[in-house]
Structure 1
Amino acid sequence: MRSRFNNNKKKFILMPFGIAALLAIISYVVMLLWNNLLPQILHVAPITFWQAMGIFILCKLLFGFGRGGGGAPWGRHRMEERFKGMTPEEKEEFKEKMKHRLCGWKRNHSENS
C-alpha cells in the first residue's frame, strides 16, 4: 500500500513539469509556424516565444480543450441533455424563444448594414 502511494506522489509532483514542458514545446512550434509562414503570406510581424504561448492559450480558451465528440466546446452536450429532458410543450416554447432572439438579431443586423 505504501509503494502505491509513493508512486502516485511522484506522478503528482512530476505532472506540473510535464505540463510545462508540453506547453513550451507547443508554444515553440506555434512560434516557428507563425514566423516561417505568416510574415510571407499575410505580411505580419514575427512573434516571440511568449507571444506564441499567449496565442496558444487564447485559442484554447476560445475554442476549447479538445474534449472530443466533434461538438462545440461551449456546452453542446449539456444543452442536448437538457433538451432531451423537456416535454414537447417546453421544447416548442424554447424553440420560439430562440427563433425570436435569432430573428430579432438578424433583423437588427441587416438594418445596420
Structure 2
Amino acid sequence: MGFTTKGKKKGKFVFVFFAIILGAGLLLALLQFLWNALMTDIFGLRAISYWEALGLFVLSRMLFGRGFSKQKKGIRQRVEHEDAISEEDKEKLKSEWRRRFEDRFNC
C-alpha cells in the first residue's frame, strides 16, 4: 500500500516543521559563534550564551527587520503606490525631505 494524500501532507508538514526548528537553531549557533569570535576580540566584549544569542536575534529583528509581522510590502505594491501619487505631490514630498535634511545637517 502506498501513502495516502493525507499522509504525504502530514509527513511534509512534520519535515518542514523540524527543518525550520533545525534552521533556527543553526542560525542562532552561527550568531553566537560569530559574536564570540569577533566581538570579544575586536571590542573586548564578553562572550554570550546560546539564549543571549536568541535574545539578540529577536531584538535585532524587532529593531531592524520589521518585527515578526507578515505584512511585508513588495516592490509591486511600492511601485503601484508611487504611480498613484501625482507629480505635484511627488515634488512636494521631495522638497519637504530636502528641507528636513538641510535643517538637520545644516547643508
Normalising by structure 1, what TM-score? Answer: 0.67
Q: Residue 49 of structure 2 aligns with which residue?
A: 48
Describe the shift of the 1:109–1:76 C-alpha distance in structure 2 as closer, same or farther (beyond 3 A): farther
- Give the distance between the partners of 1:4 and 1:76, measured in 2 at CA: 33
The answer to whether 1:37 aligns with 2:38 is yes
Residues of 2 paired with 1:81 and 1:46: CA distance? 46
Q: Which residue number corresponds to residue 69 of structure 1?
A: none
Kept after mapping to 2: 8 A contact 1:24/1:53:
no
Q: Displacement of 1:47 after TM fit?
A: 1.3
Q: 1:75 and 2:69 equivalent?
A: no
Number of matched pairs: 97
1:32-90 C-alpha deviation (Å, 9 max, x unpaired): 111011111122221111221233344445247xxxxxxxxx63612123334x47xx1
AA in 2 matched with 1:81: E
Matched, 1:106 2:106: no
Give the letter for the 2:78 counterpart.
M
Cα RMSD for the two superposed structures: 2.6
User: Residues 31 and 47 of structure 1 are in contact (CA less than 8 Å); yes or no, is this contact kept in structure 2?
Assistant: yes
**Which amino acid is 2:9 matched to?**
N
Query: What is the TM-score when the length of structure 2 is the normalising length?
Result: 0.70
The 5 Å alignment of 1:78-97 reads 78-84=77-83, 86=84, 90=86, 92-97=87-92
Q: Secondary structure at the match of 2:4?
A: helix
Structure 2 equivalent of residue 16 of structure 1: 17
Measure how far apart 1:13 and its partner are: 3.2
Unaligned stretches of 5+ residues in structure 1: 65-73
Identity %: 24
